[in-house]
Amino acid sequence: MKPHALILLGLTALAFQAHASSPDAWAAHDKAALASCLKASGLKSAEPVGTAAQFDDRVGYTALLLQGQYPQKHMKGATGTELCLYRKKTKTAYVTEWDSIRPANDAQ
């Protein structure tokens, strides 16, 4: 193998390593995504359901399912579910109601 090809191969390997995130970086990302999603949620006492779904960087989003109580009086504290999409690039959360994810017998 020619020397310049070997150097290029080494630089490529380093570039791939630089893109790999450390466990601390993932933990910080998960914490930021959760905080942003909880802030954007319209539910009282919202909590995550399960763990976040990490989409490929080409997609650029982390998805998180939240559950809590509807704050409106007429909802009488009914449980609600929301899907939160956290855009990694802008660190912005977008939330939508997603009660249909729960089986009908779980709805309150």
Q: How far apart are CA 105 and CA 108, in angstroms?
A: 8
The long-range contacts involving 43-46, CB below 8 angstroms and separated by at least 24 positions, are 43/67, 43/68, 43/69, 43/70, 43/71, 43/80, 43/82, 44/68, 44/69, 44/70, 44/71, 45/69, 46/82
Span 34-91, pLDDT tens digits: 999 999 999 999 999 999 999 998 999 999 999 999 999 999 999 999 999 999 999 9
Span 40-55, pLDDT tens digits: 999 999 999 999 999 9
Looking only at the bridges linking them, the beta strands covering 92-97 and 79-87 are: antiparallel
Q: What pLDDT band is residue 5 in, cutting at 50, 70 and 90?
A: very low
Q: What pLDDT band is residue 6 in, cutting at 50, 70 and 90?
A: very low
The full set of domain ranges for the chain reads 22-106
Q: What is the pLDDT of residue 20?
A: 59
